[in-house]
Amino acid sequence: MEYVKGKPYFCFCDKKIKQYKYLERDIKCDVLIIGGGIDDAIANFYLSQKFDVAMVDKGRFGMACTSCATALLEYQLDDFVDELLKYMTKEDIVLAYSLGLNAIDKIQEFIKRYGNNCNFALRPTFLYSNSIFSAKKVKDEYFFRKNNGFECELLDKTNNFFPFPIKQGIFAKNGGCELNPYLFTKQMVENAKNQDKIFENTNITQIEKLTSHYIAITNYGERIICNKIVIATGFNWEVLGRDDLCKRYITYSVVTSPIKYFIWKDRALIHDATSPYHYLRTLPDGRLIFGGEDTIFKGKPIQEKKCNKIYDKLEKDLFKLLPEIKNTAKIDYKFCGCFGTTLNNLGLIGESKFDDNILLFISCGANGIINAVEGASVIEDILNKRFNPLAKLFSPKREV
């Protein structure tokens, strides 16, 4: 089954591709991470500093959903506060927004220490709507943020400094960051402490539970003997034989040719909250990436014909939003991939419903990458049997 389709922009930028070997012998470890996307790389980087961890991917690292992520990393969640309040307390929402800001700080610390090999940049965020209905929600969201200490500015048509019309918008100067998710994954993998226990092209096809440990078996029959397993396989849950962990959607993106002269204020990450929503950001080589138009993923192969229709719609909507670029820009990349959603917009990170020693590490929502950075501390605390205030927000045992 395919979970991505098209020509993802991000993994075409890599010049030096380091390949990790595949597993050729039986090994032992305390914690096995299954998967090698951005979530897994984040979990492996942090956990390998304290635990005996092995990480395996059935293909190459970062080539699945990670290669498609638009990588707008914002502290806000997908839904507005009025919707989130149905599933979380006000305090929890504030905690979730704060963890987004903490995650941005942590990524920045990582980049300071290991170098910027993934086009990381801090960016303001701009959440807006040009529809009267959603504009009211944007305004309420602004007051929620302002009243809870999140620095931001309310824009409307009188003070809008973006090159398209808005009814209402929230500009958060320190609200986000961007990076190349594929290169960031590789950088995280290459700086992890467990280099001798990282394997590509190693497909786990079976998990056997014994009384005191697990045996994960690869397609070539090699065995990994471990005490805990972290399932970080993105939205592909075939190894668990389940398809009911959370709702899955396909989201679509197009990338333009470079537009060197056309840039808006501080290259903000832009999110149009009108339904169906769209997201937009600049890329370091002057291109724009524009996406959205989500459709439900029903566990069936992604249809090329349907994708093409949606890419055409995205192209039309982008040029309608920014008519200045219509005659000079063309679409160079089109791609789509699967992502998951939950009621509180947060990932499934923690002990699974079916076995406490099988931990899930599945980031959900448009903010999956941010969630994964803080989610790693939830897994670390579970392994250390320590309380973590975020655990209940991410628990796979909650209603999703």
Binding residues vs ligand FAD (CB under 6 A): 34-40, 56-59, 63-66, 68-73, 203-204, 232-234, 236, 239, 251, 253, 291, 336-337, 339, 363, 366-370
Tokens read off for 255: 């990338």
Q: How many CB atoms lie within 10 A of CB 106?
A: 18
Q: What is the CA radius of gyration of the chain?
A: 21
Indicate the residue whose CB is closest to ligand FAD.
37
Residue closer to ligand FAD, measured from CB, 65 or 378: 65
Our CB check for ligand FAD shows the closer of 314 and 391 to be 314
CB of 100 to ligand FAD, least distance (A): 10
Helix (H, G, I), strand (E, B) or coil at 378: helix
CB 46 within 8 A of CB 378: no
The helix or strand, by DSSP H or E, that contains position 118, with its residue range, turns out to be none
Separation of CA 296 from chain center: 18
Q: How far is the CB of 327 from ligand FAD (least distance, A)?
A: 27
> Cβ of residue 205: shortest distance to ligand FAD, in angstroms?
7
Which of 58, 228 has the CB closer to ligand FAD? 58
As measured in angstroms, the least distance from the Cβ of 213 to ligand FAD is 19
- Nearest to ligand FAD of 125, 236 (CB atom): 236
Work out how close the CB of 160 gets to ligand FAD at its nearest, in angstroms, rounded to a whole number.
23
Angle (CA) 336-77-262 rounded to 5° is 60
By CB atoms closer than 10 A (0-12, 13-18, 19+), residue 158 is exposed
Q: Which is nearer to ligand FAD, 58 or 287 (CB)?
A: 58
SS (H, E, C) 231-300: ECCCCCCHHHCCCCCCEEEEEEEEEECCCCCCCCHHHCEEEECCCCCEEEEECCCCCEEEEEEEEECCCC
Nearer to ligand FAD, 66 or 180 (CB): 66
CA distance 183 to 189: 10
Helix (H) or strand (E) holding 392: helix 391-394
CB 11 within 8 A of CB 32: no
Nearer to ligand FAD, 61 or 135 (CB): 61
Minimum CB separation of residue 194 from ligand FAD in Å reads 16
Please, which residue, 135 or 255, has the CB nearer to ligand FAD?
255
239: amino acid identity, one letter: V
CB of 233 to ligand FAD, least distance (A): 3
Select from 349, 371, 376 the least CA-distant residue to 362: 349
Residues paired with 256 in a beta bridge? 331
Min dist CB 147 to ligand FAD, Å, is: 26
